[in-house]
Structure 1
Amino acid sequence: MKETIVHRDAFITTQWAGGETTQLAIHPENALFSERDFLWRISSATFTTTQSVFSDFSGYQRYLLPLRGNLRLSHERLFARELAAYEPAYFDGAWPTASENSPDCIDYNFIVKNGTTALLQVLQEGDEHLVDVPAMITCFSVDDMVIHLKKAGVQREISGFSLYMLETEAGESVSVARASAPVILTKCAAG
């Protein structure tokens, strides 16, 4: 088991056409987002406009949810969907996608290379996730949280807007022992 807590001051923030994007983590660590040589990436974006067009991420799958505000995704010639805070969407990164959002919108993105087994799940205090395969787990909340690892017999207190990363074997149980805001758990199979 290997654990890391990435605090807000270690995140990388850059400008994009519609606001700012903050990279919380990328895997492998030496991967470059601009080179598209990553297995997965977690980021959060803020908006300076109420409309944007998403970049083409052919070869990747995307998980997206608003942390605050509302977001409407429109996938060209496919469908449109309204998302409330903490309501996740999953879609192919190659789909031409545009969005409309409330001015206060902040989103959370998990982008995963095609062929990689992954998931994004929103947990509340008391919820538990059983790790079924060796995996990299991340947990994020806008507020402080306490994560309990049953098999390891440990609890970790994590500050709000920090990313908890855990490499673990199958059989570990990750539960939210305390959280006043939802906890976003991502899982990416090791391999």
Structure 2
Amino acid sequence: MSHIKVIKKEELSTSEWSGGTTTQLYIYPENELYENRNFKFRISSAKVDLEESTFTKLPNIKRKIMILDGKLELVHENHHEITLEKFDQDTFYGDWNTKSYGKVTDFNLMLNKNTDGIIEHINLENEITIDNDNNDKYENWAEVFYIVNGKINISIDNECELLENGDVAIIKNSDKLNINLKNNDTFNSHIIRTKVNY
């Protein structure tokens, strides 16, 4: 049984939204449609092509956003304002009135009720091992790795997959908790790691 699911860049679907385009990297359950809002969590990357845009309202959804390229000012009405540069992140809620200023490429994590998660940037020079300790409060967990640029080998025990720019790897509920990431390029690889408990 394979522990690592790989979605290649060319298999991902991109759609238009009011401010640009968005590419869905992973949604769970996997047969769920974003439009129905019944997902437990959704991971995507969007290009913001307008200097000013208004975020779609998403009631009951907790959101995390990280900048992959460019600079973005977020204004959450009656909450907070923040300026994000490359690999900076912000957390907010989908029922807030949110406006953004700046043209960027971003990374998004949407968490529905009874889920929690983190996103982090990994600047991989050589290799690292991630010891996945699950949160006892939740029954299930998933690790999702998105390759921003570069080339890496991801492995659990004897299972190994090669990932390149734009590829995604998903590992769920594996009892083999040590995930190894090894740089396979001549320069540092940049990866966004998402850990979700649900």
1:124–1:176: 8 Å Cα contact kept in structure 2?
Answer: no
Answer whether contact 1:147 1:174 (CA < 8 A) is retained. no
User: Does residue 163 of the first structure (1) align with residue 168 of the second (2)?
Assistant: yes
Corresponding residue number in structure 2 for 1:8: 9
Secondary structure in 2 matching 1:34: helix
| 8 Å contact kept, 2:152–2:189 | no
Once the two structures are TM-superposed, the CA of residue 69 in structure 1 deviates from its matched residue by 0.6
What SS does structure 1 have at the residue aligned with 2:149? coil
Q: Contact 2:63–2:92 at 8 Å: present in 1 too?
A: yes
Matched, 1:64 2:65: yes
Structure 2 length normalisation: TM-score? 0.85
Instruction: Provide structure 2 residue ranges, at least 5 long, that are not aligned to the other structure.
Output: 135-139
TM-score, normalising length: structure 1: 0.88
Alpha-carbon deviation of 1:189? 2.1
Matched, 1:118 2:126: no
Per mean C-alpha deviation after superposition, the further-off stretch among 33-42 and 6-15 is: 6-15
Q: In structure 2, what residue type is equivalent to 1:56?
A: K
2:31: which partner in 1?
Answer: 30
Q: Where does 1:1-191 land on structure 2 (aligned, <5 Å)? A: 2-102=3-103, 105-125=104-124, 126-133=127-134, 134-149=140-155, 152-169=157-174, 172-178=177-183, 180-190=188-198
Amino acid at match of 2:166: F
Change (3 A) 1:49 1:115: same
Contact 1:38 1:113 in 2 (8 A): yes
Taking only the aligned residue pairs, the percentage that are identical comes to 23
Q: Residue 96 of structure 2 aligns to which amino acid in structure 1?
A: W
